[in-house]
Structures are given as structure tokens and as C-alpha cells.
């Protein structure tokens, strides 16, 4: 009788690290194809819209890059945090914190115009980091589970934002609960005329290699990875674990905060309810598909930007509900988790 057996791998070949995400995406396309058929549409037609509308014109391509920026930042935020096994499911709330700080600073009349953009970036990072410090502090000081607190803090930040934009911070010129627009000087520079390709997109592309360098080539990065690999070994090596956790949380929160700054400075120029359609959670999917490698976050973020923008076009053309994009993210995360098993184990046939 032939038996399937899992054997532990000594090391993971490099080609496998590239093949696994592709395999996971392929599996996801197959599963979601079933749903497309169930919705009564042709898989070929729906998928050509889903996957190709993002690259069908120069404008659409740039729009996809713009969509990729916030989820690249939240993906980086999650990748950094998960390395230290700090389960930051709170990028969503940290993004909103960053966005609110940017919208607040961007609307100050007393500040000189040239200082607005740098101050927005700085305050957005600080706000995101501060919001992430709460669960880190609760985890290190009171042993409160970080998953639960980061999740609950997302809801608290959202309601806080809505309370403000529906109350003292409401735009007097608007009938909707949203904040006043930021000043013209605070709007991010546009890099390509006639598009929305703004400074934040470039920052995302610069941040990824920087974070890669930090994680791979510096002591701080080494400490973060050591704490995640084995807390016991890290302790014996003399690493101050609470300090590393708090630092990781601050870095992660700052990155998620930048996602919010970009959305305010480059796209919406204000904060309102629909600012983030779950970008924080998409960051988890992206970081996992990138195997927590900051450089891998960029292509993963671009791919999910393709799916998110493509789903709209697919829905208009074929009637398949736009929420296929949400199912896609869930299936992709689960497929990738299963695929990652092959980095640790190899399947052997045994007679």
C-alpha cells in the first residue's frame, strides 16, 4: 500500500518561495471559478475582466498602482509585526488613526504651506504607532492577548472617527458626516498629470526595500526576528523582549498609519466612513502571500489591487457580485497557509 508521508525539510529552496504564492493564487482562481459559475456567468469572461481590466489601459494601470499603495503599507505593517509574533490584526484602526492625524494637520490654517506634507507624514506615523502601542503595552504589562485587543481597537477607532466627523469635526459645508477638506498646500504632489499617481504611492515603493534592509541587515531587525522565532532563545541571548515587542508594534503601527496618510493626502483629502474598505485586513492576506518578506509585499499588493479594481469591472460586465473580491482574499489566505506547509515539509510516497 502506498502511503503519503510528511517529512521535515532542512531548508527551503528559493524557487519554492516564488512558486508557492503562485500555486496559492491558482488554487484560489479555481475555487472562485466555482462561485462565478454558480452566479451564472462565464468563467472566462468574468476572469478576463477581473484580471485584465487593471492593465487594459495606462489610466487603469496607474489607478491600480494607486490602489496598491495603502495595502502595500498595511501589508508591510503586518509583515513586520507577524515576524515578532506580535499578532497585529489592528492595521485597520492604525490606518484610521494616521488618516485622522493627517486630515487634522492638513487643515491647520496657521501652519506654513511647505510644512504641511512633511508634518502630515510625521503625525500620521506617530498616531498609527501610538494606537499600536496600546495593545503592545497591554500585552507586555498585563499579558492581554494582542489579537483580541487589536481587533477591538479597530472598532473603537472607527466609532471615535465617526463621532468626531458627525460632531465637532464635521465639515460645515457638507451634508454628510465627513471632515473638512485639507488645504490645497497639504494635497500630495501628483507625479503624472491627469492621474492620481501621488507621493504616497512612491513612498510605498521606497518603504518596502527600506523595511527589508531594516529586517535583514540591522540589529533591530535581527532582534525582531529572534523574538518571533523563539522567545526563550531570544531571552537567553539577552534580548529585552518587551522592548522589542513595543518597538515592533510602533513600527508596524507607523507603517499602517502611512497608509491612512496617503489616502487622505492623495485621494480623499478628508476622512469619512468609507475611507478604508478593510485595507487593514487585506494587509494580512498580502503579508502572508509574501511569506512576510517586505520585498514580496509589493507584488502581492499590486496583485490584490488588480483584484479589487477588477472586481468592479467584472461585476458591471457579468453581474457576478463584486464581493467575489472578498471571497478571493479569504481563499487566497487559506490556500497560502496550506502552501506554506511545503516550506517546512516535503511529501514522500512510501510503499
Q: CB under 8 A: which stretch of 63-71, 139-147, 186-194, 225-233 binds another protein? A: 139-147
Would you say 153 and 134 are in contact if contact means Cβ atoms under 8 Å apart?
yes
Nearer of residues 262 and 310 to another protein, judged by Cβ: 310
Name, in order, each residue with C-beta under 8 angstroms of 157's C-beta and a sequence gap of 6 or more.
Answer: 92, 93, 94, 96, 97, 131
Contact 182, 51 (CB under 8 A): no
- According to the binding rule CB under 8 A, does residue 281 interact with another protein? yes
Stretch that binds another protein, among 67-75, 109-117, 256-264, 335-343 (CB under 8 A): 335-343
The least CB distance from residue 331 to another protein, in Å, is 6
Q: Which of 16, 51, 126, 144 binds another protein (CB under 8 A)?
A: 144
143 near another protein, judged by CB under 8 A: yes
Site membership for another protein, residue 191 (CB under 8 A) = no
Task: Give least dist CB 21 to another protein, A.
Answer: 15
Instruction: Kindly state whether residue 147 participates in binding another protein, applying the rule CB under 8 A.
Output: yes
The answer to whether residue 38 forms part of the interface with another protein (CB under 8 A) is yes
* Close Cβ partners of 47 (under 8 Å, ≥ 6 residues apart): 29, 33, 36, 314
Q: What single string gives the DSSP state of each residue in 51-87?
A: HHGGGSSHHHHHHHHHHHHHHHHHHHHHHHHHHTT--
The 8-class DSSP code of residue 1 comes to: -
Q: What span, in angstroms and rounded, lies between the C-alpha atoms of 51 and 46?
A: 9
Neighbours of 167 (CB within 10 A): 9
Interface pick for another protein out of 33, 322, 343, 346 (rule CB under 8 A) = 322
| Residue 162 found at the interface with another protein (CB under 8 A) | yes
Among 159, 189, 191, 277, binds another protein (CB under 8 A): 159
Interaction between residue 7 and another protein (CB under 8 A):
no
Nearer to another protein, 199 or 324 (CB): 324
Residue that the C-alpha cell 468574468 belongs to: 46
CB atoms under 10 Å from CB of 31, counted, come to: 16
CA–CA distances in Å: residue 7 to residues 65, 336, 346 = 41, 19, 5
Task: Identify which of residues 231 and 327 has a Cβ nearer to another protein in the complex.
Answer: 327
Our CB check for another protein shows the closer of 16 and 327 to be 327
Cα–Cα distance, 35 to 41 (Å, whole number) = 9
Does residue 338 belong to the site contacting another protein (CB under 8 A)? yes
Q: Which is nearer to another protein, 80 or 331 (CB)?
A: 331
Q: Is 288 in the site for another protein (CB under 8 A)?
A: yes
Q: Does residue 160 interact with another protein by CB under 8 A?
A: yes
Q: Is 91 in the site for another protein (CB under 8 A)?
A: no
Transcribe 247-295 into DSSP letters. Answer: HHHHHHHHHHHHHHHHIIIIIISS-BGGG-SSHHHHHHHHHHHTTT-HH
- Distance between CA atoms of 88 and 70, rounded to whole angstroms? 16
Per CB under 8 A, which region of 102-110, 228-236, 254-262, 317-325 contacts another protein?
317-325
Whole-number Å distance between alpha carbons of 333 and 78: 13
* List of residues 6+ apart from 98 with CB closer than 8 A: 124, 125, 127, 128, 256, 257, 258, 259, 260, 261
Binding map of another protein across residues 246-265, x = CB under 8 A, - = no contact: --------------------
Instruction: Please give the residue ranges that form the binding site for another protein (CB under 8 A).
Output: 35, 38-39, 87, 89, 138, 142-145, 147-149, 151-153, 155-156, 159-160, 162-164, 166-167, 281, 284-285, 288, 321-331, 333-334, 337-338, 340-341
Amino acid at each position: 500500500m502506498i502511503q503519503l508521508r510528511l517529512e521535515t525539510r532542512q531548508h527551503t529552496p528559493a524557487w519554492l518561495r516564488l512558486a508557492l504564492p503562485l500555486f496559492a493564487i491558482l488554487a484560489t482562481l479555481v475555487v472562485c471559478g466555482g462561485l462565478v459559475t454558480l452566479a451564472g456567468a462565464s468563467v472566462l469572461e468574468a476572469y478576463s475582466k477581473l484580471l485584465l481590466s487593471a492593465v487594459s489601459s495606462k489610466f487603469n494601470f496607474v489607478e491600480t498602482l494607486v490602489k496598491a499603495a495603502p495595502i502595500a503599507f498595511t501589508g508591510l505593517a503586518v509583515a513586520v509585526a507577524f515576524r515578532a509574533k506580535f499578532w497585529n490584526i489592528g492595521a485597520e484602526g492604525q490606518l484610521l488613526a494616521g488618516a485622522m492625524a493627517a486630515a487634522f494637520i492638513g487643515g491647520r490654517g496657521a501652519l506654513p504651506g511647505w510644512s504641511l506634507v512633511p508634518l502630515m507624514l510625521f503625525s500620521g506615523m506617530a498616531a498609527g504607532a501610538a494606537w499600536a502601542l496600546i495593545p503592545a503595552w497591554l500585552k507586555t504589562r498585563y499579558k492581554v492577548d494582542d489579537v483580541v485587543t487589536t481587533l477591538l481597537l479597530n472598532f473603537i477607532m472607527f466609532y471615535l472617527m465617526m463621532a468626531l466627523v458627525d460632531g465637532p469635526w464635521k465639515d460645515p459645508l457638507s451634508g454628510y458626516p465627513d471632515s473638512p477638506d485639507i488645504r490645497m498646500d497639504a494635497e500630495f504632489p501628483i507625479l503624472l498629470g491627469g492621474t492620481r499617481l501621488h507621493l504616497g504611492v512612491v513612498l510605498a515603493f521606497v518603504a518596502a526595500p527600506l523595511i527589508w534592509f531594516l529586517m535583514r541587515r540591522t540589529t533591530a531587525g535581527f532582534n525582531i526576528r529572534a523574538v518571533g522565532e523563539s522567545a526563550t532563545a531570544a531571552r537567553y541571548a539577552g534580548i529585552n523582549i518587551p522592548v522589542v515587542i513595543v518597538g515592533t508594534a510602533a513600527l508596524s503601527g507607523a507603517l499602517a498609519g502611512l497608509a491612512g496618510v496617503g489616502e487622505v493626502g492623495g485621494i480623499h483629502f478628508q476622512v469619512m466612513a468609507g475611507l478604508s474598505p478593510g485595507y487593514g485586513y487585506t494587509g494580512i492576506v498580502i503579508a502572508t502571500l509574501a511569506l512576510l518578506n517586505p520585498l514580496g509585499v509589493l507584488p502581492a499588493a499590486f496583485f490584490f489591487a488588480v483584484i479589487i479594481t477588477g472586481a468592479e469591472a467584472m461585476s458591471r460586465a457579468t453581474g457576478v457580485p463584486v464581493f467575489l473580491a472578498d471571497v478571493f482574499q479569504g481563499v487566497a489566505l487559506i490556500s497560502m497557509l496550506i502552501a506554506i506547509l511545503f516550506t517546512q515539509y516535503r511529501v514522500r510516497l512510501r510503499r
